[in-house]
Amino acid sequence: MREQRIINEFHQGQCIDAWTLFGAHPAFEGEEGVRFTVYAPNARHISVIGSFNGWDGGRNPMERTGFSGVWSVFVPGAKHLDSYQYRIGYGFDKTCDKSDPYAFFSELRPKRASVVYDLSELSWSDGEWMRSRTVGMNKPISVYEVYAGGWKRNEDGPMSYARLQEQLIPYVKEHGFTHIELMPINEHPFDGSWGYQASGYYSCTSRYGTPKEFAAFVNACHNAGIGVILDMVPVHFVRDSFGLIRFDGQPLYEYAASEEAESQWGTLNFNLAKDEVRSFLISAAVFWCRIYHIDGIRTDAVSNIIYRGGDPARGTNEKAIHFLRRMNYFIKKEFPDVMLAAEDSSAFVKVTAPTAEGGLGFDYKWDLGWMNDTLNYYAIDPLYRFYEHGKLTFSMAYFYSEKFVLPLSHDENVHGKKTIIGRMWGNEEQQFAQARNLYAYMYAHPGKKLNFMGNEIASFREFDEGKELDWFLLEDPRHLSFLRFFKELNHLYLTHGALFEKDYDFSGFRWADSGNARQSVFSFLREGEKEILLCVMNLTDAGYENFEVPVSEAGMWKEILNTDEKRYGGSGRINPVPLRAGKRNGPGSLACCISIRLAPFAAVWFTGTKKQKSTRKTVK
């Protein structure tokens, strides 16, 4: 029996489809109505209250399902879009009104009730996309991270899913991004949490529309060739009284001990050692993949799962780590083509190793070390970059230990940190030049790419969830030129296999010159199946007319990107014709070199043709 199977797996912490039993399900049980089911083992009695019964707690009492802690009732006449809550009696004479942990939809803030929603309303036409999608290890992945309420806004508030479908998708496609990563769109009461303090783990937020409209947005993304990644927060939840806190009068989802329950964000930590909580969260992840065809999940604050309170000094949380492995195992078992990424600031090993090999089971890990070192370096006065040269070479010392994504995310654009361009050293002209240099470096470096909305227009204002991006900046030629650069950079990335085919293969990267600290010039080679790409970066305000760069192949090298091009806002010191590589007598294993023009703060890409290994057999 399906119901008993779900309950058994739910209590074992291995349920992947708990939402098919729990929550509110429109049904026909002799007459039209809705079946409500909730887990509350410590409750004395529970009633469903809602718009269908005048919020009267005496009208629709629920019944226990054996000794499982599960309560259920069928309410005739209840229907799609009715509002409801659970009135839970506990202790001797106490009651509380709670929203449904498994609700598929919720009332618009500041209201708190859940809403009955018939998911059979969702429709899809993305079969070709779903059949062909992959996690993209040897493909180009350039992610555009978006806060749905702040990309663009209407005069009276945030844009709807429908308006985002009309405007965001064409913008992302035009500018060469492959995926949209949405900051959490599950229900949450406080806009200032950006969705990271959730109240509804199955509820698509009503701020921007209905579940049907969100599904239409995802469907349209897929039909435009764009993947959709969602943020998930399995660490902590809001402590608002209508939510999961002491759900049935006792700590049910959180730890019982306050020192374990209290999080650093003023929220409550999930008790990830508890099997029913594990089933709740695992099922939530599977729910978004199955019901909304989501292509990837980015798990927030993984270090706070690995270590107690996110502090390595407090030791690892083995039961929480076990939950993480179990969740990723079940997601990959059901959806091997769904991308799993960890936002993890720790040095914990094997984050991207399969669970069968003792790893955490993620496909990718955000390289927060690369992000910190890189932004710190670009903030240094060029006179002193000599002393910090290793900040830009260190990433390749550990890069192949995990499968990394290079993130310049919302976290790098808030909390007084300044935006990406605002972190660059120097006056505004020098900041624009170095920001172009930074992005040319980022896209040439091994690893998938992620950028927060606004990075592409060189926004100087930090992210504010109540405002749209400063699109008026594009009236300034410098910002418009920067967007042109970013667009062309993305499209170059998409079309040059050397930049992605061997992201996680040692043979895909080679330093041309990593030791030129005196001039603060870096150069490295990326290798694909048919092409070699050379990236040269000048990180000072000194320019050169004949700068010698080691290369791996004789023959011609063609410049395909120069951040100093006039159309990008540079001075135009470029290499307009292909350069022939000559013999080199300097140190190192590279026998050839080219002599290039290299402008101050410029980054330059050249492509060369790989020598093909001969397949001719020797005849004896």
User: Chain centroid to CA 2: how far?
Assistant: 34
For 14-65, the DSSP string reads --S-GGGTSEEEEEESSSEEEEEEEE-TT-SEEEEEETTTTT-TTTSB-EE-
Out of 343, 344, 412, 501, pick the active-site residue: 343
- Pull the structure tokens for residue 97: 């009104």
State residue 480 phi and psi, 5-degree precision.
-65, -40
Cα distance between residue 602 and residue 589, in whole Å: 26
Nearest to 147 by CA among 183, 101, 174, 192: 183
Q: What span, in angstroms and rounded, lies between the C-alpha atoms of 40 and 52?
A: 23
> For residues 298 and 382, what is the distance between their CA atoms, to the nearest angstrom?
36
CA atoms of 281 and 69, how far apart (whole Å): 18
> Quick check: 79 and 116 in contact, CB under 8 A?
yes
Q: Which two tokens stand for residue 52?
A: 């269908």
User: In the annotation, is 155 catalytic?
Assistant: no
Instruction: Spot the catalytic one: 145, 187, 231, 300.
Output: 300
CA angle 69, 74, 80 (to 5 degrees): 115
Helices (H), 312-367: 318-334
Active site residue 300: yes
Q: 532 is written with which tokens? A: 């070699």
Alpha helices in 78-233 (DSSP H): 127-132, 161-174, 211-223
- Residue keyed to tokens 């004479």: 93
Structural Rg of the chain based on CA atoms? 27
Q: Which helix (H) or strand (E) holds 509?
A: strand 509-513
- Calpha distance 538→191 (Å, rounded): 42
Q: At a CB cut-off of 8 Å and minimum separation 6, what does 76 contact? A: 31, 32, 33
- Tokens for 413? 């654009």
What proportions of the chain, in percent to the nearest 5, are helix, strand and coil?
A: 30, 25, 45
For residue 592, give Cα distances in angstroms to 468, 537, 575, 611. 50, 19, 18, 14
Positions marked active-site: 300, 343
